[in-house]
Amino acid sequence: MIIGVGVDVCSFERFERMLARRPGIAARLFTEHELTLSVTSQAGRFAAKEALAKALGSPGGMRWTDCEVVRGDDGRPSFELRGSVRRAADERGVDHVHVSISHDAGLATALVIIEKA
């Protein structure tokens, strides 16, 4: 059963300006591995994390680095949830998180669907 849906769009240009304006924010948003990725990949992951928060009902107290977007062997993105984000998902009975990320026309778009059995 679907219990939440979230979507987010992130402009590459606006995202780059935010990173330049706010030194240190990248370390609060991304895991060590995510910090090594290109700005466009980071924008997609930022959109995915925002979409996940929306799907979970935007609970307070979640740390951005407690969810990481990873790629499977087939290239499909998925989330690794830890700490505060894992707790928020568990409180809602989340069994599975679906995520799709797209990059086009200077934008990253992400859709997240959360389910419970």
Q: pLDDT by residue (tens digit) across 6-37?
A: 999 999 999 999 999 998 999 999 999 999 99
Q: Is residue 54 annotated as part of the catalytic site, yes or no?
A: yes
pLDDT at 106 over 90: yes
Q: Give the phi and the psi of residue 46 in degrees, each rounded to 5.
A: -60, -45
Of residues 33, 49, 54, 96, which has the active-site annotation?
Answer: 54
How many Cβ atoms are within 10 Å of 85's Cβ, its own excluded? 25
Give the position of tokens 């930022």.
46
The pLDDT value given to residue 60? 85
Q: Which of 89, 108, 76 has the alpha carbon at shortest distance from 4?
A: 89
State yes or no: pLDDT of 112 exceeds 90. Answer: yes
Q: Does the structure show a pLDDT above 90 at 86?
A: yes
Residue 98 a catalytic site member? no
pLDDT tens sequence across 35-64 = 999 999 999 999 999 999 999 998 888 999
pLDDT interval class at 70 (50, 70, 90) = very high
Domains annotated for the chain, with CATH where assigned, are: 2-115 (3.90.470.20)
Q: What pLDDT, on a 0 to 100 scale, did the predictor assign at position 58?
A: 87
Per-residue confidence (pLDDT) for residue 23, from 0 to 100? 83
Q: What ranges make up the beta strands (E) of 54-95?
A: 67-71, 77-81
**Predicted local distance difference test score (pLDDT) of residue 19:** 95
| Catalytic residue selected from 49, 96, 98, 103 | 103
